Amino acid sequence: MTAIQLKRLLIHRITEIDDISFLNDIKAILDSKAQSQVLHLTPEQRMEINESKKDVEKGLFIEQSELDKEVEKWLRAK
């Protein structure tokens, strides 16, 4: 199937949909594809990311697998 054929098929299928929620979801998908991939962060978000990087450099983090073990242990104790 060519890109043009696929577009026509999708257009036809979309015109048959009356579910507003579903149509909004399709629109969100299309909007996300159309937007640039560059994230625009607030100064606060940038500061938080920089602080997190510093924490990682200092070793102030826990591996996901270790955290999972701690949560399992905590759940079993209840």
Listed by start position, the domains of the chain span: 3-34, 43-77
**Does pLDDT of 46 surpass 80?**
yes
Comparing 36 with 56, the larger pLDDT belongs to 56
**So what's the pLDDT on residue 21?**
95
Comparing 31 with 61, the larger pLDDT belongs to 61
Interatomic CA distance for residues 42 and 11, integer angstroms: 37
pTM score, whole prediction: 0.43
Q: How remote is the C-alpha of 33 from its chain's centroid?
A: 13
Q: Do residues 19 and 7 lie in contact, with contact meaning Cβ atoms separated by under 8 Å? A: no
Burial class (CB in 10 A: 0-12, 13-18, 19+), 26: middle
Average pLDDT in the 7-15 region? 94
Mean pLDDT of the chain: 91
Q: Do residues 17 and 23 lie in contact, with contact meaning Cβ atoms separated by under 8 Å? A: yes
**Does pLDDT of 37 surpass 70?**
no
71 half-sphere exposure, CB direction, 13 A CA radius: 7
